[in-house]
Structure 1
Amino acid sequence: MDQIGNAGTLARGLVPLVQTGVLGLMGPGAAAKAVGSIYRWEFTPAGLLAIGAGRDPFHTAIIDDAGAMTYQQLHEQSTTLARALSRSGIRERNRIGVLCRNHRGFLLALCAHGHLGTDIVLLNTGASAEQTRAVLKEQKPDVLLIDEEFLPLLPQGFAECPVVIAWEFGDTNGLTRDAEENQKPASNVRDALDSGNYATRNEEWASLHEVLRTAPPTGRLARRPRKGRTIILTSGTTGVPKGARRPEPSSWMPASSIMSRIPLRHHRPFYLAAPLFHTWGFANIQLALTLRSTMILQRRFTPTAAVQLIEKNRPYSICIVPTMLRRLLEAVPENFNPGTKVIAACGEPLPPRAIVSTFEKFGDVLYNLYGSTEVSWISIAQPHELKEHPRTAGRPPMATIVKILDDNGRECPEKEIGRIFVKNELLFEGYTRPGVDKEIIDGMVSTGDLGYFEDGLLYVAGRSDDMIVSGGENVFPQETEDVINSRQEVVEATVKGVEDPEFGQALCAWIVADEAAMGDRDEFIASIKADVNRKLARHCVPRYFMFVDKLPRNAVGKVVPRELPKPE
């Protein structure tokens, strides 16, 4: 019965592939190459790239800050990199570390890993030097591909593994480059430079250009390599990021699941603005390869450069995180019409103002995906749902089970807040750090979030460890944060629980305000309190307010609580 059910699900999963144009008529030669690629590499990024090279060899695969590459060129260069790494001693079950921004080097490493049957560790470009060094010590990569700008994140005299410089300083033709912004070291790099303990370029570390140029033209690679694991790091907002082991897709269902709720189209330009090392960016690499899209990449996101890139390339789809979207919306000029049909956001809650602004400036194109490193996708909100219910996380897509369970593992009735559990085709296989794991009930993995269903729509109340008890009442900071962020005077805000001598715990709001619009600060605070009290409940009103110049965020836009100033 399970086999019949699985076969039925796989058959239904073909429907989105037909609707998007992925499945279509092909000649005998292309069909044979596609079947051969699936047999050899299955549905890994290497396999999807090989299918693209077989079916559309001259279609542009990448446009990045160094130019354009076709599917055939990308496939050939990833194979060349795999041969070079194999020749240097990299074998199945070894680990490839990648610390790169959004550019071709990331894709080449990812697909070479598929050819070799290795595991690949995607490091966070926004992590501190201390976090980066701790992750490298824990994950122990056998080779590290790193952008030259991030060398200071390594300790002085780094010799734990061979290093390949994936992107060198000045390695750009300026297609989408904002020169002033891109020449500034990132804040985590500046901190590392200030410490005095940092690595500099070693003459023995070859560049990716040199590796590809000097690699042997032929060399033996496994006919059917092991299906490796992708290790994606958690956000690290509370400490050293954990590594989550992710299996490679075993079928087309992961792509079909997302396409069942987001109307993507094959061959269309696809702007991947979200960091590729993040779960959301990584998922969209696989979607873009499945669609045989042109992936538009920008090493360093800046709003003005992004607007120029969108105007020039007119992407059909944009993959982005909410913080980037908010900054992009501020830079979009009047009467902007790039023809974009899908803006898919994920990574943190969408501020209500960003939802409204997106509809005003781009039309009804916004899709909000709720997911996590451990469970991939959970639910997707479509434009009409966001218009009517801005706080919703939408509905579970095809072949995805989402349930709200109480502390005893029983399913909660509608509108009752409980713990969110998920089951789909791409659940993680556990953390790489011993003794740390997620709760699993009936094959469903806990997300660590609290939420509820209402009229078939999922709502996320917040992280279970963010909930506080104030004066005997359960309080969810996210609800208060949404109210504050909806105000015109607020540029951005976050709300967290803090210790309070009278109520045990209370809410504190950290606000970046438009000073001109805010007016008198005391009157503004009183207005916020009245607003929250009217829309929610008295215990949801913040007791403390902190006004800051900006919120501390990591590379994917999540607020880092430990870096928030203590309330006065």
Structure 2
Amino acid sequence: MAQMKDPLQISAVTNPDAIAVVNGAELISYQALNQSVDRCAASLLRQGIKQTEHIGYLGTNSLEAITLLFACIRIGALFCPLSTRFPQTQISELLDQLDIVALYESKPGRFDVPSIQRWSKETEEFQPKPLESGQPSTLILTSGSSGFPKAAVHSLGNHIASAQGSADQIPLKPGDAWLASLPFFHIGGIAIVIRCLLAGATVVLPSHKSLIDNLASHPITHLSLVNAQLQQLLQEPQGCRYVARLHCLLLGGGAITESLQSQLNQLNVPAFCSYGLTEMASQVTTGRVNTQGVCGHLLANRELRINEGIIEVRGATCFLGYYQQGTINQPFDQDGWFNTKDIGQWVNGQLKVSGRSDNMFISGGENVQPEEIEAALKQHANVSDAVVIAIDDPKFSKLPVAIIKTVTNDFDQDELTDFICQRIARFKRPRHYFSWSETIENELKISRKRALEYVMSQMGHSEDR
């Protein structure tokens, strides 16, 4: 394996006085952050942490998380961030399943694993060793939108290759500031950190609960959001002003509505969409936002092919495998391709994702893709978000129903049915519509399992056909 330095070490030499992290009123230079990481690494070794061991982090996006991430990389341990939204019982299960030997958390002592002691501000002896590009460095859980999350293992080389490819479409330079708006337990949150530190740019940690307050507290040039967050931001009194200042807006969440596209055009902000996944260390393709649902061109350091309608990927950003029962399970074919289970096609050189192959269901002998119905619903001026799931039916086997988020907080089911039947085949129309519930949201994605539970609780198993 090739040897390499972590991006923080490089930027600490080339831009020592540049600001690496904004933490509220505190401005941390690259040199200071690099020294803090060395102290943390020395502390971890003193606490008995060994190479290849798994170190958990349970907390918000923080300076401690960034410091611990790079300290783990330098001693050869794996950084394992966990969601603070998980119930305590699930966290306990994950600590056991992921073989986490020590945990850093803001409120230590809740779990039956040793706590990581806070590192000193005093200088500690630590001599960084050359890093292997392929050595495991992080353990990131997938979104788990359809079940229990899997633990994806990435190397430092994976993360750096991802950041380098991203820069082809989204320029990032010293002086730029990217708000850490995505949680560090999500691959998108880790990607923001790696991109910034590789480019000598600044990571701005959220110091307020609301997005608008964070944008007001420090000049932000780069921002990552999902579509629903952007819609909410633009409804704020100062939202349009802050969005218009951005050098780059990176959106996740599929095709945007025509009204949202119009607003972005008026603000003249460079807005991008992407297709990505945890297993590929974030982005795979990136392009300008659009209402057609295309996700842009393939980025450097990635390979993608469509095999019988299914997207398969490989390349320098591709993860090492899933951590399961003490080993890394490698779910690749003999040529190294990973089956994403996403359905896609190339449209004029750009990728279009139609949905998940494991979401498709059969209704009356016809294949139905929920994402097609969702995209059609979101073309309606009153629908800001939608999720479609299947319910059992004695005649048709399965029937689609929809949960929708509306601008006006109400809707006319007959009018929606007429609207959607003009855009897709009539047999695909949702037979029931339900108002949005926050209970179906799972971090940055929708949990279809929770959506089904919500629908069944609402309809009492009765149907209107």
CA distance in 2, matches of 1:299, 1:278: 19
2:324 partner SS: coil
Contact map agreement 2:159 2:191 (CA 8 A) in 1: no
Is 1:512 the counterpart of 2:405? The answer is yes
Give the Cα separation in 2 of the matches to 1:58 and 1:107.
Answer: 18
Distance 2:208 2:449 in 1: 24
Contact 1:493 1:551 in 2 (8 A): no
- Answering whether residue 130 of structure 2 is matched by residue 224 of structure 1, we say yes
Structure 1 counterpart of 2:463: none
Matched, 1:542 2:430: yes
Q: In 2 relative to 1, CA 300–428 (structure 1 residues): closer, same or farther, beyond 3 Å? A: farther
Q: Which amino acid aligns with 2:455?
A: K
State the alpha-carbon separation in 1 of the partners of residues 268 and 106 from structure 2: 37
Residue deviations 1:386-442, cap 9 Å, x none?
34x531112212242211112xxxxxxxxxxx1110122111121112597635363
Q: Residue 293 of structure 1: CA displacement?
A: 0.5
1:400 to 296, 299, 302: 302
Tell me: CA distance 1:52–1:459, structure 2 relative to 1, closer, same or farther (3 Å): same
Task: Give 1:413's aligned residue.
Answer: none
Residues 350-377 of structure 1: CA deviation (Å, up to 9, x unaligned)? 4425741651464241111211111234
Q: 1:308-361 CA deviation, whole Å, 9 max, x = no partner?
A: 23xxx3222112333433332332537615521101123x32442574165146
> Residue 494 of structure 1 aligns with which residue?
387
Q: After the TM superposition, which of the residue ranges 237-246 and 469-478 deviates more from structure 2?
A: 237-246
> 1:367 touches 1:380 (CA, 8 Å); kept in 2?
no
Matched, 1:77 2:30: no
Indicate the structure with greater strand content: 2
Find 2:65's aligned residue among 84, 103, 106: 106
Ranges in structure 1 where 5+ consecutive residues have no aligned partner: 1-37, 165-205, 407-417
Secondary structure of 1:277's match? coil
2:166 aligns with one of 251, 258, 281: 258
Tell me, in whole angstroms, the C-alpha distance in 1 between the residues paired with 2:441 and 2:197.
30
CA contact (8 A) 1:316 1:340 kept: yes
Aligned to 1:365: 270
Instruction: Show the counterpart of 1:4.
Output: none
Q: How does 1:91-490 map to 2 (within 5 A)?
A: 91-148=50-107, 158-160=111-113, 162-164=114-116, 206=117, 208=118, 211-213=119-121, 217-221=123-127, 223-224=129-130, 227-249=135-157, 253-298=161-206, 301-309=209-217, 313-331=218-236, 333=238, 336=241, 339-346=245-252, 348-352=253-257, 355-356=260-261, 359-360=264-265, 362-377=267-282, 379-383=284-288, 386-387=289-290, 389-406=291-308, 418-433=309-324, 438-440=331-333, 442-490=335-383
Contact 1:245 1:429 in 2 (8 A): yes
Shift of the 441–447 alpha-carbon distance from structure 1 to 2, 3 Å rule, reads farther
CA distance in 2, matches of 1:251, 1:479: 32
Q: Distance in 2 between matches of 1:124 and 1:350?
A: 27
Per-residue deviation, 1:382: 2.4
Separation of aligned partners in 1, 2:129 and 2:240 = 53
Structure 2 contact 240–267 (Cα < 8 Å) conserved: no
Q: Which amino acid aligns with 1:397?
A: L
Structure 1 distance, partners of 2:127, 2:297, is 43
| Contact 2:18-2:174 within 8 A present in 1 as well | no
Query: Letter of the aligned partner of 2:293 in structure 1?
Result: R
Match of 1:558 in 2: 446
2: CA distance, partners of 1:369 / 1:503: 36
Match of 2:323, SS?
coil
**TM-score normalised by L of structure 1:** 0.73
How far apart, CA to CA, are the structure 2 residues paired with 1:221 and 1:334?
46
8 Å Cα contact 2:250-2:272 kept in structure 1: yes
Deviations 1:482-506 (A, max 9, x none): 2222323224321122222221111
1:314 to 1:390, Cα distance in 2 relative to 1, 3 A: farther
Q: Percent identity?
A: 23
**How far apart, in 1, do the equivalents of 2:366 and 2:235 lie?**
38
Listed one character per residue, the Cα deviations across residues 278-301 of structure 1 (whole Å, up to 9, x for unaligned) are: 111211211101110111111565
Of Structure 1 and Structure 2, the greater helix share is in 1
Distance 2:340 2:178 in 1: 29
2:231 maps to a residue whose letter is R
Residue 375 of structure 2 aligns with an amino acid whose one-letter code is: D
Inter-partner Cα distance in structure 2 for 1:463 and 1:240: 17
SS of the equivalent of 1:159 reads coil
Do the aligned partners of residues 372 and 300 (structure 1) sit closer, same or farther apart at CA in structure 2, a change above 3 Å counting?
Answer: farther
Tell me: CA distance 1:354–1:112, structure 2 relative to 1, closer, same or farther (3 Å). Answer: farther
Residue by residue over 1:85-131, the C-alpha shift from the partner in whole angstroms, topping out at 9 and shown as x without a partner, is 11111121121111221121110001111221111212123223232
Distance, in Å, in 2 between the alignment partners of 1:443 and 1:70 is 40
Unmatched 5+ residue regions in structure 2?
Answer: 460-465
Deviation at 1:561, TM superposition (A): 2.7
| Aligned partner of residue 359 in structure 1, secondary structure | helix
Letter paired with 2:7: L
Structure 1 residues 250 and 274 mapped into 2: Cα distance closer, same or farther (>3 Å)?
closer
Aligned in 2, Cα 1:560/1:466: closer, same or farther, shift over 3 Å?
Answer: closer
Does the CA contact (< 8 Å) of 1:261 and 1:380 recur in 2? no
Q: Supply the distance in 2 between the matched residues of 1:401 and 1:475 (Cα, whole angstroms).
A: 29
Query: CA 1:65–1:501 in structure 2 vs 1: closer, same or farther (change >3 Å)?
Result: farther
**Amino acid in structure 1 at the alignment position of 2:305:** K
Kindly indicate whether the alpha-carbon contact (under 8 Å) linking 1:127 and 1:554 is maintained by their aligned counterparts in 2: no
**CA distance 1:48–1:537, change in 2 (3 Å):** same
